[in-house]
């Protein structure tokens, strides 16, 4: 009984650590195993619009890259925890990186600031 409780406690700590990592937008192998992630990504490729593909493919030896490349959002309620994975895509003819431009205020005097306004908050390179 003690051993079973010790195992349960250890598993709960691992899940808690994995969820903490997900809160910081990183994907953990404790939450989604490499084989499960590969299966998910393979299914996703069936529904991608024409001309788009996963940035690193779905081969077993490339799956580890998605733990670095993808960003995680986590939503929870008393009954479940949901993960939303933001996985980079590339188009068949080219690839690009999308950046969000954040304009910071600039000081013009000790008590006054100004901030530029831009028309397009995103930049694709």
Burial tier of 62 (Cβ tally within 10 Å: 0-12, 13-18, 19+):
middle
Q: Is the pLDDT of residue 97 over 80?
A: no
Q: pTM of the full predicted structure?
A: 0.60
124 CB neighbour count, 10 Å cutoff:
8
Report the percent of the chain where pLDDT is more than 70.
96
Band of residue 99 on the pLDDT scale cut at 50, 70, 90 = confident
Residue 72 and residue 10: Cα distance in Å, rounded?
A: 24
Of 13-22, 32-41, 104-113, which gets the smallest average pLDDT? 13-22
How sure is the predictor about 19, in pLDDT bands with cuts at 50, 70 and 90? confident
Cα angle value 58/61/64 (rounded, 5°):
80
How many DSSP H helices and E strands does the chain contain? 3, 8
Q: How confident is the model at residue 94 (pLDDT cuts 50, 70, 90)?
A: low
CA distances from 104 to 25, 35, 123 (A): 23, 42, 16
């Amino acid at each position: 009984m003690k051993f079973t409780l010790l195992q349960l406690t250890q598993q709960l700590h691992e899940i808690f650590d994995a969820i903490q990592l997900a809160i910081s937008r990183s994907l953990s192998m404790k939450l989604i195993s490499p084989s499960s992630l590969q299966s998910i990504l393979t299914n996703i490729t069936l529904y991608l619009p024409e001309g788009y593909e996963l940035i690193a493919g779905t081969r077993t030896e490339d799956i580890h890259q998605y733990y670095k490349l993808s960003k995680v959002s986590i939503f929870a309620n008393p009954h479940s925890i949901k993960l939303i994975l933001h996985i980079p895509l590339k188009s068949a003819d080219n690839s690009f990186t999308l950046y969000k431009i954040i304009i910071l205020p600039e000081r013009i005097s000790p008590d006054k600031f100004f901030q530029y306004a831009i028309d397009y908050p995103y930049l694709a390179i």
